[in-house]
Structure 1
């Protein structure tokens, strides 16, 4: 149990003093960038899925 307590204490100290946290404004802009990029990527994948589905339907109905 003492090893677990020591681990948690060292973890808390490392989080408080050794990690450099970004400023809130930069964090917000990076989060927005990730959100927009994820949306664009999802839109691209969705359009690819739709077009390939239609192409395969057309191909299978042609033969």
Structure 2
């Protein structure tokens, strides 16, 4: 049981004293970058899906 208490105490200490947390503006900038990257990725995947769907539909209509 003392191992668990020690682990939890060290975890709290590390999170409080040793972790460098980003500032609010850095957090906002990172969030905007993630949002833009996710939207770009979704658009690329959507475009690929649209092209494959059209190609397969054309191919299957040939028979």
TM-score, L = length of structure 1: 0.90
Gaps of 5+ in 2: none
Deviations 1:2-35 (A, max 9, x none): 2111111100100011111111101111111101
2:8 paired residue number: 8
4+ aligned runs moved over 4 Å, structure 1: none
**Residue 62 of structure 1, CA deviation:** 1.2
How many residues align? The count is 63
TM-score, L = length of structure 2: 0.90
Provide the alpha-carbon RMSD of the alignment. 0.9
